Amino acid sequence: NVKKGDVILQHTISGPRSLIMTTELQGGTELGKVFSSIDDSALLALGLMAEVAKGEESKWWPYIRTVWR
């Protein structure tokens, strides 16, 4: 069983932080402020859903378009 705080995936990513969707990035958004008490995975999922809803207006659209083919 996975317990809160267990590391289930660890990966080192290099590149500009602004190009990586992180909990820190989502935490600074309006969505992150409203849902500040949820866990990191849920916050990232909500952030991604919000970006999907923006469609082509999202800066993440090229990534989203590639993943959801």
In this prediction, residue 26 carries a pLDDT of 63
Angle, CA of 6, 41 and 7, to the nearest 5°: 15
Lowest mean pLDDT among 1-5, 19-23, 58-62, 65-69: 19-23
In this prediction, residue 23 carries a pLDDT of 67
Query: How crowded is residue 68: how many other Cβ atoms within 10 Å of its Cβ?
Result: 7
> Higher pLDDT residue, 37 or 28?
37
In Å, what is the CA distance from 56 to each residue of 37, 39, 48, 61? 29, 28, 13, 6
Give the max Cα distance, the chain: 40
Measure the CA–CA gap between 27 and 25, rounded to whole angstroms.
Answer: 5
The answer to whether residue 25 scores a pLDDT higher than 70 is no
Average pLDDT over residues 1-5: 84
Query: How crowded is residue 26: how many other Cβ atoms within 10 Å of its Cβ?
Result: 21
